[in-house]
Structure 1
């Protein structure tokens, strides 16, 4: 039975509702109306061999929805977060000259983290956002640990869009032991644990957001080291600080994609 991504409840306790990756109110801020769909080539690595398939997906994330969020979350804390974030987000989308306080930056980072968690569920499994990350964001109202958010100014893209890169990293194996009645012990195999993570980019008008998240400190640190666009973006989380918008330099869409795609490949990791 389908459970809510954030509170974990299911029917009949709660009713699942359609959740947009980006709230419909943001459509009024997007500079261009996007085509309804496009064809995307997806690379799968199920057995280690890349297989390319094509699929039709919405061109704009304003059209992407999923039914994995309950009405109580959708109309409750998530709606409150959207309302608070839009006070900061809308002027940035318009390219206005504003001062973003540290409190504003924290709200924007929380909104970006929530949006990336929802966006990650749009794709097929594996879902790379740990349950404890989702419950932390819902209960604490801030991004969880092992999650970093950056923001940058960009040239307006013809449509609001996201890019989502999933990663799985093999961790050191644990021996599987078997013991006989006489006490003799021997190894019968190795249990191989995995660490999952993702990098998601969100681009709307003049703003680009980069979210790196993982279920382990090791993979998160590797993602941050690989991606950290220190010369082109400002870190929103952790440790949000005040900054002036727009930020220099102004990135092109290709530069934004180039930063996000650094996640493919990471040494000792594979992508799906």
Structure 2
């Protein structure tokens, strides 16, 4: 059976489609080669090599889609988003907001195709029905029903760019976590621009969310978006925002949370006086002192470095778990740790000394 276009289902020859439109690499962003990765949220990502940014391609789209509605969408986005990506204050008019929200949705769907075929065969990624639904919606030049999007400012390494998609569940006090996700969050960073959205595919019931970061709502359209507005997102707060941590529903009793099977590692245990947690490689364990758990219960959180045979990691403690924030060669991770703000502390116990940085409140 021939490979088919993920959007329209055509068996016409497949073409190369850029995750970010070719225009992104031509507007003045830093094009210095960088390491690129793709893959699941709770495992070591697939290494895509060192290459110039904004030029990653997938080969899952037919020529009619690539050169037709997708090309028109990129052209419309380029005209509106270029100054914002470069950090220049601007506006997104009411008549442009549906198109920009659809562009963000298309970009997230396309980026998910960078994961390996093996990962996708195991269920990682978005349902094929999402691709077909966006194709069926192409003439409207608007995002899929049950979607909300916001636009904010990102400040950090000028070379940082990302597309992150997180499966979400709707959590209600007293009820067990659903067995399957009801929604997903999609977050895109390009230059100074960050676009964050949530989508509730059928048969899930759409829930209106509020962005506590103060980002102006891009979709559904209400009024002109003046950019930038709200709090600034940084590399340190990116993961929390991308995991829907800045979204609130109603009075707060109902929560949107990352689907545990996709976003969380197995629960940690105490082993020989240390907390043991599975590393992102899923082959080895890493360890840290239990004192950090007590500190977290008291509302004080830390960042530290751990390592296994596969990689070094930066880990943050949180109110209910530890989160792996970065993975890579020891020298790169050490430099990232050194560049982080915060006072350094040493925890001592019978296992020796453990060095970490206190995270800003």
Under a length normalisation based on structure 2, what TM-score does the superposition of the two structures give?
0.57
For the aligned residue pairs, the C-alpha RMSD in angstroms reads: 3.2
Show the counterpart of 1:27: 25
CA distance in 1, matches of 2:31, 2:61: 26
SS across alignment from 2:104: helix
Q: How does 1:35-74 map to 2 (within 5 A)?
A: 35-38=33-36, 42=40, 52-57=43-48, 62-74=54-66
- Partner residue, 2:297: none
Alignment size in residue pairs: 238
* Match for residue 211 of structure 2 among 217, 229, 240: 229
Contact conserved, 1:195 with 1:214, CA < 8 A, in 2? Answer: no
Q: Which residue of 2 aligns with 1:49?
A: none
Residue 149 (str. 1) matches residue 135 (str. 2): no
| Pairing 1:6–2:4 present | no
- List gaps (5 residues or longer) in structure 1: 45-51, 171-191
Query: Helix, strand or coil: the match of 2:26?
Result: helix
Q: How far did residue 142 of structure 1 move?
A: 1.1
Q: Distance in 1 between matches of 2:227 and 2:166?
A: 30
- After superposition, give the CA deviation of every residue in 1:96-146 in whole Å (9 maximum; x if it has no partner): 232321112222111111111111222232332424422233232211112
Question: Residues 85 and 193 of structure 2 are in contact (CA less than 8 Å); yes or no, is this contact kept in structure 1?
Answer: yes
The CA deviation at 1:152 is: 0.3
Q: Secondary structure at the match of 2:87?
A: coil
Q: Tell me the residue number matched to 2:225.
A: 243
| TM-score for both structures, normalised by structure 1 | 0.73
How far apart, CA to CA, are the structure 2 residues paired with 1:31 and 1:157?
12
Matched with 1:201 is 187
Distance 1:242 1:217, change over 3 A: farther
| 1:48-96 superposed Cα distances (whole Å, 9 cap, x missing partner) | xxxx445313577613211111111111111111111111111111222
| CA distance in structure 2 between the partners assigned to 1:138 and 1:43 by the alignment | 29
Q: State the secondary structure of the residue aligned to 1:199.
A: strand
Within 5 A, what are the aligned runs for 1:179-218? 194-195=180-181, 197-216=183-202, 218=204
1:142 alignment partner, SS class: coil
User: Aligned-pair distance for 1:241?
Assistant: 2.4
Q: Which runs of 5+ in 2 are unaligned?
A: 171-177, 246-255, 264-361
Deviation string 1:140-183 (CA, Å, 9 cap, x unpaired) is 2211112222110121533252242342769xxxxxxxxxxxxx
Greater alpha carbon shift after TM alignment, 155-164 vs 144-153? 155-164
> For the residues of structure 1 that align with 2:53 and 2:137, how far apart are their CA atoms?
22
**How far is 1:266 from its partner?**
2.5
